[in-house]
């Protein structure tokens, strides 16, 4: 699984543990997710291409580095992906944002698309897809299938938590897409939830249960 990047930084792990606790309030869950997203963005953007430009400091001219190319695109898989966006935009405020609406059919657990909106010039952009939970992999796979039709330069996938089943499904359908996660949990249950996990990420972010 050379394509899987486990972000085991102590701050990431500490915050994730606080989020998993069932007594974490909506407020603290959302705040922690925001902080975690910021830290994970730091890792996932580590290999962004750079270019040299000439600038003037108050004292002299120098050659300095800036990120090269068109603005990154963060693609949120609705609705839980939106919980990660704010933290990511704090670090990369100029990023463009795309949305993919997919719901999980409760019987078949397959992903059904209801919304798709991307920035222009996708073929010139690097894309980071975000969804807190990579569980069955069905939503991520469907989202990436659809995104590949827009021919972006590259695609990475960021989640908080995943499990062996989700990683295997992604490796089969999209072996070219690197996955960044803060944890690989034990397994899925019969309802497609990750164990031990953190419950329903959307409900916990938005306080809908
Ligand atoms: N989606 C969630 O929100 N939680 C899981 O455990 C799996 C999928």
For the chain (209 residues), the mean pLDDT of every run of 10, in chain order, is 90 97 96 96 94 98 92 94 93 95 79 92 96 94 96 97 97 97 97 96 93
Known active-site residue 104: yes
Known active-site residue 200: yes
Instruction: Give the pTM.
Output: 0.93
pLDDT score of 11? 96
Q: Which domains does the chain have, with CATH numbers?
A: 4-206 (3.40.50.2020)
- Could you tell me where the beta strands, DSSP code E, fall in the chain? 4-6, 50-56, 61-67, 73-78, 96-104, 111-117, 126-130, 133-134, 154-158, 161-162, 179-181, 183-184, 187-188, 194-195
pLDDT score of 111? 77
Q: Are 205 and 183 in contact (CB under 8 A)?
A: no
Ligand 1 centre from 9 Cα, in Å?
23
Ligand 1 centre from 80 Cα, in Å?
9
Known active-site residue 52: no
pLDDT score of 108? 79
Which of 84, 161, 201 to mutate to test ligand 1, by most ligand atoms within 8 A of the CB atom?
Answer: 201
Put residue 175 in one of left, alpha, beta given phi > 0 → left and psi -120 to 50 → alpha. Answer: alpha
pLDDT score of 68? 87
């Amino acid at each position: 699984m050379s394509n899987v990047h486990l972000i085991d930084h102590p701050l990431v792990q500490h915050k994730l543990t606080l989020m998993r606790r069932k007594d974490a309030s909506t407020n603290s869950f959302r705040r922690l997710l925001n902080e975690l997203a910021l830290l994970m963005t730091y890792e996932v953007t580590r290999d962004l291409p750079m270019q040299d430009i000439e600038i003037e400091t108050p004292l002299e001219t120098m050659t300095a580095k800036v990120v090269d190319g068109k603005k990154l695109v963060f693609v949120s898989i609705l609705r839980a992906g939106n919980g990660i966006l704010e933290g990511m935009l704090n670090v990369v405020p100029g990023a463009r944002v795309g949305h993919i609406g997919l719901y999980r059919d409760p019987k078949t657990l397959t992903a059904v698309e209801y919304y798709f909106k991307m920035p222009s010039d996708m073929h010139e952009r690097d894309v980071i897809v975000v969804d807190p939970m990579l569980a069955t992999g069905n939503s991520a796979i469907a989202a990436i299938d659809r995104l590949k039709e827009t021919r972006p330069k590259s695609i990475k996938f960021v989640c908080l938590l995943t499990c062996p089943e989700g990683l295997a499904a992604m490796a089969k359908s999209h072996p070219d897409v690197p996955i960044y996660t803060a944890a690989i949990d034990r397994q899925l249950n019969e309802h497609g939830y990750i164990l031990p996990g953190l419950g329903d990420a959307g409900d916990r972010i938005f306080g809908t249960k």
